[in-house]
Structure formats: structure tokens, C-alpha cells
A = this chain, B = another copy of it.
Amino acid sequence: MNHSEIGQIRLNIASREWVIYAPSRRKRPQDFHAISSSENSKKVKKNHCPFCDLNETIILEMPSVDDRPWQTRVIQNKFPALVSKGKPQRTKEGIYLTMPGYGQHEVVIETPDHEQNLALMPIAEIEVLIETYHQRYLALMEDSSNLLTIIFRNYGEKAGASLTHPHSQIIATSIVPQHRRWTEEEAQRYFDRWGQCVYCDILSHEQENGQRIIGENETFVAFVPYAASLPFEIWIMPKEHQADFGSITPQEKTDFAHLLKDVLMRLYDKLNNPDYNYVINTSARYKAEEPQVHWYCQILPRLTITAGFELATGININPSLPELDADFLNS
């Protein structure tokens, strides 16, 4: 299989949700047979780490300091969900809609140290990671075909990570997902009604109320949201209204790094190093200046399993309570 072959993105015309089909990530149907029997589910190749012995072109490298050969490296994902070839042109296929799998998919290698854990990394290294995110975000958004750039981290098997070497991922897409539009439209309705950004209002309410706050510094607040969808969901949000992660200031990068480390450290300590995803939710292109969108980092520990009711309705059943989660992390 040619890994640079372009995949496709198909539209579910009943729900307007896009689904990505990437040739480089494709498994043969019979491979799913093996996955379904749990003994075979984790054949990890322990001897070879593709991030320790790098064969890929380096897109960005934060250079050597002290005794470390480099700080962070960014490469193209070896099995990209999307590739920047061709054009993001929609085509009809009968009643359906499809388009080439246009976009970018990068991996941020967070440290040369295979055994490192982000929660335990020195703060200076986490600052470099945020700086790396920021530089790649700005670079990817310079390509006018990219309408949305999503920075995310899958940590642990239950969060979908297949490699243990500390890494994050960045995907830039030429589509704005329905899910994102819905949320933006809600924020816009709120703004049109109240004349305020809903996230700014949430932030002031949480600061006043206090019972769900996990941490705060000059420019950021971390809290368990009032309607957390999962146990120990945490939002880290800039205090200043800012739709676009690209607008983050140097001071904010430092403060974000500090609060991110603080939060990850508490999860590590109090919940025994749980699997988690985090994602930087930011505005789509053309929304970067809007008064109703507000970027934030959403941390989703994977302590529960999403079952049929949740999948069908989008209503999560959360077996914890946000105030108890906050108390526990603060105890």
C-alpha cells in the first residue's frame, strides 16, 4: 500500500458528519478479527521506537540545550489521516458527497527521553512544548486551505495511543466539522442574547463560585466544568477573551504551561496516572476575531466507557459529580 495515497472524507448526509478514510491507516477486514480477541490486542513492538530512531523528515526542531540533543521535534505522521495533496474539492457520488483526504497530520515528539511522562517533565520543557504547538499552529494556519487546526494528545491505551514515547498530534483540516459549527452557533446565540461570550461568563461564574476551581494563575484558570461529561474532565482557559489559540501571548504560554503541568500532575498523583486525551479547542478560520468563541484546553481522563445510550443520544451519564472531582483533586 502506498502511504502517500490520498484517502477520502465522506459525508453522512443524514447527520452532516464527515468521516475520514485514510489508506495509510487502513486495516484489512480480517485484521479486526484479531483485535476483537483481547489476547492479541496489544502486540507492542518493544524494541523499536520510531520516535527514538527517527526516519522521517523533521518539520520543526527545538534545538539542543544543556545535554539534550534536541528538545521537541515535529514530523509528519507516518500513517497520516490526511495529506496535503490535490485540492479539497467536493464530489457527488450518487446522493452522497465525498472529497479527497486533504489536510495535514503531524506528530510532536515532546522529548528525546522515551521513558518521560509529560506530567513529570520540568516546567521549562513543557514551555517549549507549548511554544512548539504555537509555532506549528501558526504555520499550518498560513495555508489558506486549512480551516481548522486541532492540537491533541492521546495518552495511554484507553485514550487511543499506540506508542508510549511522549507525543502529541496536530491535524489541520479543510472542513469545519458539524460538531464545531453547532457549538459555535450556540455560542453565537448566547452572545446575541446576552452580549457576552459564554465562555467568559462561565469563567467569571466559576471564579466567583470557587467550588470547581482546580488552579489559577495570572492569565489562566483550570476548573471542572459544571456539566462535565466525564469524571475529572478539566478545562484550562485563558482569562482574556481569545477566540484563536494563535493569539496566545508569551506570558500566556508560560502560564498555560504551568497550569497544564499542575493539572496533569494532580491527575497523575490522585488517580494513579490515568489514561487521558487533551485537546486545544480553538476557533475555525474566519472566526479568529469573533467575540463569542474562546479557546481552551479540554482534558478528558478515560476512566469510563462510552456505551450505547451515550453514543445514540450524546447525553453522557457521568458516575461522578464535578464538585466532588474538584474537592478530590484539591485535597
Tell me whether B95 and A306 are in contact (CB under 8 A). no
Known A-B contacts A27-B320, A183-B14, A306-B306; the reply to A178 vs B314 at CB < 8 A is: yes
A74 to B18, CA, bound (A): 38
- Name the B residues within 8 Å of A179 (CB-CB): 313-315
Known A-B contacts A199-B14, A306-B306; the reply to A319 vs B25 at CB < 8 A is: yes
Closest chain B CB from A6 CB (angstroms): 14
Tell me whether B20 and A183 are in contact (CB under 8 A). no
A11 to B229, CA, bound (A): 10
- Name the B residues within 8 Å of A26 (CB-CB): 319-321
Tell me whether B180 and A313 are in contact (CB under 8 A). yes
A178 to B12, CA, bound (A): 18
Q: Which A181-212 residues have a C-beta within 8 angstroms of B?
A: 182-183, 186-187, 190, 198-199, 201-202, 205, 209
Closest chain B CB from A70 CB (angstroms): 24
Tell me whether A308 and B152 are in contact (CB under 8 A). yes
A315 to B101, CA, bound (A): 12
Q: Which of B11, B226, B278, B319 is in CB contact (< 8 Å) with A27?
A: B319
A279 to B231, CA, bound (A): 24
- Name the residue of chain B whose CB is nearest to the CB of A178: B314
- Name the B residues within 8 Å of A271 (CB-CB): 32-33, 36
Is the CB of A37 closer than 8 A to any CB of chain B? yes
Is the CB of A129 closer than 8 A to any CB of chain B? no
Tell me whether A29 and B202 are in contact (CB under 8 A). no
Tell me whether B160 and A306 are in contact (CB under 8 A). yes
Is the CB of A173 closer than 8 A to any CB of chain B? yes
Tell me whether B227 and A35 are in contact (CB under 8 A). no
Closest chain B CB from A129 CB (angstroms): 15
- Name the B residues within 8 Å of A104 (CB-CB): none
- Name the B residues within 8 Å of A28 (CB-CB): 324
Is the CB of A169 closer than 8 A to any CB of chain B? yes
Q: Which A267-319 residues have a C-beta within 8 angstroms of B?
A: 270-275, 277-279, 281, 298, 300-301, 303-309, 311-319
Known A-B contacts A150-B309, A311-B279, A315-B20; the reply to A29 vs B325 at CB < 8 A is: yes
A171 to B313, CA, bound (A): 11
Is the CB of A17 closer than 8 A to any CB of chain B? yes
Known A-B contacts A27-B320, A32-B232, A327-B29; the reply to A17 vs B315 at CB < 8 A is: yes
Q: List 11 A-B contacts (CB under 8 A).
A: A15-B186, A19-B228, A32-B271, A33-B270, A36-B275, A152-B307, A157-B305, A178-B314, A180-B314, A279-B312, A300-B311
A interface with B by C-beta (< 8 Å): 9-22, 25-30, 32-37, 81, 93-96, 148, 150, 152-154, 157-161, 169, 171, 173, 175, 177-180, 182-183, 186-187, 190, 198-199, 201-202, 205, 209, 225-229, 231-232, 270-275, 277-279, 281, 298, 300-301, 303-309, 311-321, 324-325, 327-328
